[in-house]
């Protein structure tokens, strides 16, 4: 059996098109998870405070209004990868994500992002697989 390594070498030397296609699928997955997490985010009072210049104070924004998606971050070393991140940019978000707030454990711990990503995982795997297959077909057309 003879293995032609030239296409694999070509792919290793030019991974950007494939990573871009996978990045689109990863973005869709992360966005879907963030959208799902909105249903689990605790809703407090929607009172917003303003400073002396009538600018909204960041620390008074409700948690649900601070959702963000960040990326893509490409890792172009030997272990090629693309990363998208979703989260909440709230002054208390770190404590809420861990289920701990001011040194006390909440009951039950609110893992709204964890649950949302669990629901989105299979969707993401399928879309990344399809994007990878499509990119490889474009990169290496059938003979």
The reply to whether 92 falls in a domain is yes
Instruction: Confirm whether 91 is domain-assigned.
Output: yes
Question: Containing domain of residue 122, as a range?
Answer: 18-139
Domain assignment present for 11: no
Q: 13-42: per-residue pLDDT in tens?
A: 888 888 888 889 889 988 888 898 888 877
Cβ atoms within 10 Å of 130's Cβ, excluding its own: 12
8 located within any domain: no
Contact 68, 87 (CB under 8 A): yes
Residues 70, 52: Cα–Cα separation, whole Å: 31
pTM for this entry: 0.69
Q: Is 99 left (phi over 0), alpha (psi -120 to 50) or beta?
A: left
- 51-61, pLDDT tens digit by residue? 788 777 655 67
Beta strands in the chain (DSSP E): 67-75, 81-88, 100-101, 104-105
Instruction: Return the closest-CA partner of residue 125 out of 54, 28, 47.
Output: 28
């Amino acid at each position: 059996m003879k293995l032609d390594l030239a296409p694999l070498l070509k792919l290793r030397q030019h991974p950007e098109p494939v990573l871009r296609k996978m990045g689109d699928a990863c973005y869709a997955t992360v966005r879907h998870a963030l959208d799902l997490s909105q249903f689990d985010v605790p809703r407090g009072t929607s009172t917003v405070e303003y400073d002396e210049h009538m600018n909204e104070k960041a620390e008074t924004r409700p948690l649900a209004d601070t959702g963000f998606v960040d990326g893509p971050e490409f890792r172009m070393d030997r272990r090629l990868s693309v990363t998208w991140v979703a989260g909440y940019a709230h002054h208390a978000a770190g404590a809420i994500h861990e289920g701990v707030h001011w040194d006390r454990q909440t009951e039950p711990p609110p893992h709204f992002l964890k649950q949302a990503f669990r629901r989105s995982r299979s969707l993401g795997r399928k879309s990344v697989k399809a994007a990878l297959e499509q990119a490889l077909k474009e990169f290496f057309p059938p003979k």
